[in-house]
Each structure stands twice: as structure tokens, then as C-alpha cells.
Amino acid sequence: MNKTLAEITRTDFPLLQNYSRGDQNLIYFDHAATSQKPFKVIKDLETYYSYWNANVHRGAHQLSAKATQDFEKSRIITANFVGSNSPEEIIFTRNATEAINLVSRSWGDKEIKEGDEIILTIMEHHSNLVPWQLLSERTGCILKYAGITESGELDIDDLKNKLTNRTKLISLVHISNVLGCCNPIAEVSKLAKAVNANVLVDACQSLAHQSINVRKLGIDFLVGSSHKLCGPTGIGFLWAKEEILEEMPPFLGGGEMIQDVFLEKSTWADLPHKFEAGTPAIGEAIGMGSALKYLEKIGMDNIQAWEKILINHMFNKLSNIRDLTILGPTPTIQPKRGALATFHIKGVHANDIAEILDAKNICIRSGHHCCQPLHRYYGIASSARASLSFTSTMEEIDTFVEELIETIDFLKSNS
Ligand SMILES: Cc1ncc(COP(=O)(O)O)c(C=O)c1O
């Protein structure tokens, strides 16, 4: 019998093998918060620090040349991974949050004026809300929020109604970290282009789960975080069209991002360095490149196909639990939805569920998942979220659901 993708890849991940409590193997269903790291990525980080550790771009010595080569190779890998043919379009940042802040500060402060409009959605992560609220405070621009449908998908008609010739940007999540819905980015881009607006895509929850091509999507900005892509923490990236980046002023000032510095003024380095002030996260960038190569080797289409089987199974199981409501579209309504299920249960607190499951060696997330406005919309303070990856198995889902039912019964009988 053919092996499943989980059977093929699971042994690549030290933590998934080594972590057990008593006779309970770890069930890690918190991949949306951060993914586990394969041996290859850990090894490549170790190799850099053990054999090539040196600062990049400024050294005449061989170590620096090798570090620079590997660091810049990661930029090429990242560009290819998102379908850009130009590594100059990749700006390394600390994470996706910093990438959005870069755009709102640099592009936003230059291009956005009082009365201009930015469309967001009510499902956005705080990372894609707060930077625009700060921009609105600085400039007097107006923030509008597209709503969601009853099934928990983007309400595209509402978005269309909010679009005017004052719209300068639509900034939205690709796959929601709560609803799991996959938003129709190409369609949104077409709508935006009709009024000359730009589109920023928060791809934090989609990049590790499906293949993405920024050119085909017709967008202007895309942000991602390495730690959700099997890579290290402390590194993420902004992809933006070269012609837009050229026009944007620097975000942070200091070493590396300059061409000439005088006492009175300075001039800026070429792309992408104009946006990378100070010593970058060299090892982490190399680790991110290694992680993206690892994902590519598995194949994004293979990942998407296996995760689709998993999420169908998870929905089938969860939908039989009394008083449990899942947020977001079912896989039947939206076959391209992400491999996560966020739910709440009448009379039971999500934190209690997560704590009891943790005692059984099952990691899920509870809280507002950095989406407070969305939780307010649903009239709940928190929810529980089980998020999967290509390493997840059907058996893990079965065990998780059995333990969840037991936990709910226990909590209900003690309330
Ligand atoms: C949809 C979405 N956007 C943005 C972020 C922020 O990512 P980071 O904290 O790595 O910047 C997250 C992280 O949970 C997310 O799920």
C-alpha cells in the first residue's frame, strides 16, 4: 500500500518523534501558531553557525563571502517560492507583522492622504489591523471593513459595495487563521485594479499549504513568516512589485541600507538593501531558504491534497459533537479551505479544553487567536483551534476527537 504523506515526512521532524509523556505520543495540532522544524533546517542552521558564521555584504574574507552567498541564495529561493522572478522584490523582515508595518509606514505614509480609503476585512489578524489603524491616525485615511457571509467566507458583494474611486488599498488575509476560509485573491485583485487600488495579501496561513504565484494573483504586496513554514523564528519577508519598492522611502535607517552618508544627509542602497537596515538575521534567512526548499521537495500540491483529506475527516468527526460549533466554511462549501478547525462549545471554556487536552499530550490553541474583532462579531470571547499539517495523521484526528469528547463530558459534568 502506498504510504501517506504523513508517513513519508513525519520522521523528518525530531520533535514529533522525541516528545512523549508517559505512553502518550505528542499530537501537535497547533501548526497555525508555528510549524515544527525538520532536521534539515536545524542542520543547515547548525552548519552556518559552525562553519560559515560571518557578517554579510561587508567582508573581504572568504567566510563573509560564503555567508553572503548563502544568505542571498535564500532570497532567490524565497522569490521563486512565491512566483517572483526577481530576488530584489524580496525584503527580509523579522516576521509578517514587521512586513505589514513596513508597507504601512513606508508606502502608506508616502501614498495615503486624508480621506483616502483602505479596505480590510473583519476576519483579519491584529497584524493586519493595527498597522492600518496607526496609519489612519497619522494620515486621516478611512478604514472600511468587508464582512463575512453566514457560512464564514469573505462577503465579496460587501467588499464590492465598499470599493470607491478613493480606495487605495485592499489588505486581506489569504487563508484566515480562525475561519480557515481561502479568500478569492485573484478576484479581489481584479476589483482593486478597476479603481487603481493596490492589494496586500497576508499569506501567513496559506504559504505552507498551497502553491502561490504573486504574478498570477495580480497582487502588489505579500507577506509571510518563516516560522509557519517549517523555518526558524525571527525571519519573515515582504514581497512587493519592484516598481512600487523603488518609489517607497526607507523604513528603518542605519548601516547596510545606505549608499553614501554625509553629516547633512544620506543616499540609499539599491533594492532590496534599502529596506534592510543593520545586520540581518543571517542564519535565520538561510534556515528559511532551507525550509522552503524542503517544502518544495515534498511538493505543495501533494501537501494540499493530503491536508484536504485530513480536514474533511476532521470536519466529519467534529460535526457529530453535540453543542460544538465550527467557525468558517465546511470543506463541502469551500473545498479549498485551510486545514484547521476553530470551534466553540456551549457552556465550556476553550481554555479549559486546551488545558485538559494538554495533560493528554495534545496541543491545540485557545483564545482569540489575535482576531478579537472577529470573535466579537460572533459574540464569543474565545475559541479552540486545532490546526493540521502534512505530518498530521488520520489516527491523530481520531484520538484528538475521542479525547475532546471525553473532555467536554468531564467539563459539562463538573460545571
Ligand atoms: C493570518 C496571520 N497573519 C499574521 C500573523 C502574524 O504572524 P507573525 O506573528 O509571524 O508576524 C499570523 C500569526 O499567527 C497569522 O496567522
Question: Any idea where the domains of the chain sit in the sequence?
Answer: 5-30+300-413, 42-296
Cβ of 97 closer than 6 Å to ligand 1, yes or no, is yes
Indicate if 370 belongs to the active site: yes
Ligand 1 mean position, distance from CA 370 (Å): 8
| Nearest to 180, CA basis, from 311, 303, 304 | 311
pLDDT of residue 415: 76
CA-angle at 254, arms to 248 and 255, nearest 5°: 110
Give the Cα separation of 248 and 157 in Å (integer). 32
pLDDT of residue 44: 98
Phi, psi of 209 (to 5 degrees): -125, -15
pLDDT of residue 19: 73
Cβ of 391 closer than 6 Å to ligand 1, yes or no, is no
* CATH fold label, 5-30+300-413: Aspartate Aminotransferase, domain 1 (3.90.1150)
Task: List C-alpha distances in Å: 181 to 333, 386, 394.
Answer: 10, 15, 21
399 is written with which cell numbers?
484520538
pTM attached to this predicted model: 0.98
Give the Cβ contact number of residue 235 at 10 Å. Answer: 29
pLDDT of residue 59: 77
- Collapsing DSSP states into helix, strand and coil, what is residue 63? helix
**Is the distance from CB of 189 to CB of 217 less than 8 angstroms?**
yes
Ligand 1, residue 173: give the atom nearest the CA.
1
Cβ of 210 closer than 6 Å to ligand 1, yes or no, is no
* CATH fold label, 42-296: Aspartate Aminotransferase; domain 2 (3.40.640)
Phi, psi of 322 (to 5 degrees): -65, 140
Ligand 1 mean position, distance from CA 127 (Å): 7
Ligand 1, residue 227: give the atom nearest the CA.
10
User: Which protein residue has the closest C-alpha to ligand 1 atom 7?
Assistant: 96
270 is written with which cell numbers?
539599491
Ligand 1 mean position, distance from CA 320 (Å): 30
Give the Cα separation of 353 and 366 in Å (integer). 8
**Is the distance from CB of 65 to CB of 194 less than 8 angstroms?**
no
pLDDT of residue 22: 67
pLDDT of residue 283: 98
242 is written with which cell numbers?
519592484
User: Which protein residue has the closest C-alpha to ligand 1 atom 15?
Assistant: 204
- Common-topology check for domains 5-30+300-413 and 42-296: no
**Is the distance from CB of 102 to CB of 244 less than 8 angstroms?**
no
Ligand 1 mean position, distance from CA 299 (Å): 23
Radius of gyration of the chain (CA): 22
Cβ of 341 closer than 6 Å to ligand 1, yes or no, is no
DSSP state at residue 2:
P
Compute the CA torsion angle 292, 294, 297, 298 (nearest 10 deg): -110
Give the Cα separation of 149 and 317 in Å (integer). 24
CA-angle at 92, arms to 87 and 96, nearest 5°: 120
Give the Cβ contact number of residue 11 at 10 Å. Answer: 12
How would DSSP label each residue in 226-267?
GGGTTS-SS-EEEEE-HHHHHHSPPSS-STTSEEEE-SS-EE
- Collapsing DSSP states into helix, strand and coil, what is residue 91? strand
394 is written with which cell numbers?
488520520
The burial of 331, by beta-carbon neighbours within 10 Å (0-12 exposed, 13-18 middle, 19 or more buried), is given as buried
Q: Return averaged pLDDT per consecutive 10 residues of the chain, 415 residues in all.
A: 92 87 85 98 97 91 95 98 96 98 98 98 98 98 98 98 98 98 98 98 98 98 98 98 98 96 98 98 98 98 98 97 97 97 96 97 97 98 97 97 97 88
User: Which protein residue has the closest C-alpha to ligand 1 atom 9?
Assistant: 97
pLDDT of residue 212: 98
